[in-house]
Amino acid sequence: MTRLEPQSWMSAPETRKLMDALGEARFVGGAVRNALLGRPVADVDVATPLTPGEVQRKLTAAGIAVVPTGIDHGTVTVVVDGKPFEVTTLRRDVETDGRHAVVAFTGDWAEDARRRDFTMNALYADSSGEVFDHVGGVEDLKTGRVRFVGDAVTRIREDYLRILRLFRFHAWYGKGEIDAAALRAAAAEKSGIAKLSGERVAKEMLRLLEAEKPAPVLRLMASSGILGEVLPDRLQIARLESLAGIDAANFFAPDALLRLAALLPHDVKTAALVGERWKLSNAARARLEDAAGSSEKIVAYLSIREVRKLLYRLGMQPFKDRLFLNWADDPKAGMQWRALLAMADAWTRPVFPLTGRDVMRAGVPEGPLVGRVLGEVEEWWVDSDFTDDEFSLAERLKAVVQAVVY
């Protein structure tokens, strides 16, 4: 029998309250898998033989709020004293079209295990920590084998997202070679990926990119022709690999979007196409396109003065993105890059001391000229390393007004 080591997320009062209210319920999926590995557990999923209606009744009676987020699939989101959980009724997939499933509820734990994607994701644990393994997931987890529950081709045809999930989980939990049968099936079925929504593709791929070492898996996806289904050509896998190495060496939390920016070619159009295909948020698209089109030279030996200037012109995020991408291209200068990063972190944006009113007071009539004069003086002010000397600012203003107005 396998038993989980004591887990803080299991003994947390919110978790206990939920499990007590449900009565019949077990933890499932990532929480159990990561607990067995001793890795951090982010979100806690719960499986139960209770129907969604019964879940709703029992939890409401216990004073717990229930949101029917995916009620057609038997999933409700519950929030216990501020902590969210997903509670899903045991189910089997009755009908699938490669993207969606029509489901039937069941009281059978083993049946629920068989509809899950990989054996290591089909593990359950009760409130006492006892683990229930219907598909040999504990053994696969130990050996780092990401294996489909059942026949790989069949499981992929039910939901093509599982191809991307195979690589995502292999990047995070795989040891040694990827499962041969799974890889063969994924390569043979790759054209089905085109059916998937951009949002689902993005979610899996960004999680994959967040792995400690995403590059070897991306190379495997490239050589099996799968990467081309979700990303353009001319990818810079070596640059991404370098960035991931920098993150690991410095204990930086991986930033999925920055890693994507490192991977994409230096070309705004391509970045825009990926943003569109992946249905990224406007902010995410802007960030990717900005990084892909950047032309400023950020070198490891910039002076503090140059750093201040760039930060003021670009803003914090674009500056840091450029810094990291250049760091990835030149990883040997680690000490200097870290110093630049520290300079950026210590920076606060100076406020340009002049306003339109000062410009008008200097004799410029209200209108577009005011902004032009202001811009000219601001540029000089930035070049002066943000001088706070009022006299020289006033002199400069006078000189610009002379030149522009008269």
Figure out which of the listed residues 29, 49, 137, 214 binds ligand ATP, where binding follows CB under 6 A: 29
> Quick one: what does residue 116 bind among Mg ion, ligand ATP, none, with the CB cut-off 5 to 8 Å set by partner type?
ligand ATP
In terms of CB distance, is 116 or 396 closer to ligand ATP?
116
**Rule CB under 6 A: is residue 161 a binding residue for ligand ATP?**
yes
Site string for Mg ion, 4-43 (x = CB under 5 A): --------------------------x------------x
Q: What is the number of the residue whose Cβ is closest to ligand ATP?
A: 30
In terms of CB distance, is 122 or 271 closer to ligand ATP?
122
| Length reported for the chain | 406
**Rule CB under 6 A: is residue 42 a binding residue for ligand ATP?**
yes
Instruction: Pull the structure tokens for residue 148.
Output: 């489909």
Site for Mg ion in 41-60 (CB under 5 A): 43
Task: Round to whole Å and give the CA distance between 88 and 91.
Answer: 8
In terms of CB distance, is 43 or 276 closer to Mg ion?
43
In terms of CB distance, is 119 or 242 closer to ligand ATP?
119
> Quick one: what does residue 162 bind among Mg ion, ligand ATP, none, with the CB cut-off 5 to 8 Å set by partner type?
ligand ATP
**Rule CB under 6 A: is residue 40 a binding residue for ligand ATP?**
no
> Quick one: what does residue 329 bind among ligand ATP, Mg ion, none, with the CB cut-off 5 to 8 Å set by partner type?
none
Instruction: Pull the structure tokens for residue 201.
Output: 């593709």
**Adjacent-strand bridge partners of 48:** 89
In terms of CB distance, is 43 or 388 closer to Mg ion?
43
CB of 275 to ligand ATP, least distance (A): 22
How many CB atoms are closer than 10 A to CB 277?
14
Residue type, 387: T
Figure out which of the listed residues 24, 45, 111, 267 binds ligand ATP, where binding follows CB under 6 A: 45
**Rule CB under 6 A: is residue 189 a binding residue for ligand ATP?**
no
CB of 158 to ligand ATP, least distance (A): 8
In terms of CB distance, is 45 or 330 closer to ligand ATP?
45
In sequence order, what are the residues at sequence separation of 6 or more whose Cβ sits closer than 8 angstroms to the Cβ of residue 5? 35, 38, 129
Task: Round to whole Å and give the CA distance between 323 and 318.
Answer: 8
**Rule CB under 6 A: is residue 241 a binding residue for ligand ATP?**
no
In terms of CB distance, is 25 or 122 closer to ligand ATP?
122
Residue with tokens 């979700």: 230
CB of 67 to ligand ATP, least distance (A): 17
**Rule CB under 6 A: is residue 24 a binding residue for ligand ATP?**
no
In sequence order, what are the residues at sequence separation of 6 or more whose Cβ sits closer than 8 angstroms to the Cβ of residue 333? 300, 301, 327
Q: What is the number of the residue whose Cβ is closest to Mg ion?
A: 30
In terms of CB distance, is 6 or 40 closer to ligand ATP?
40
Exposed, middle or buried by CB within 10 Å (0-12, 13-18, 19+), for 95?
exposed
CB of 349 to ligand ATP, least distance (A): 36
CB of 31 to Mg ion, least distance (A): 8
In terms of CB distance, is 210 or 241 closer to ligand ATP?
210
Site for ligand ATP in 197-226 (CB under 6 A): 207
**Rule CB under 6 A: is residue 30 a binding residue for ligand ATP?**
yes
CB of 10 to Mg ion, least distance (A): 16
User: What residues make contact with Mg ion under the rule CB under 5 A?
Assistant: 30, 43
User: What residues make contact with ligand ATP under the rule CB under 6 A?
Assistant: 29-30, 42, 45, 116-117, 121-122, 159, 161-162, 165, 207
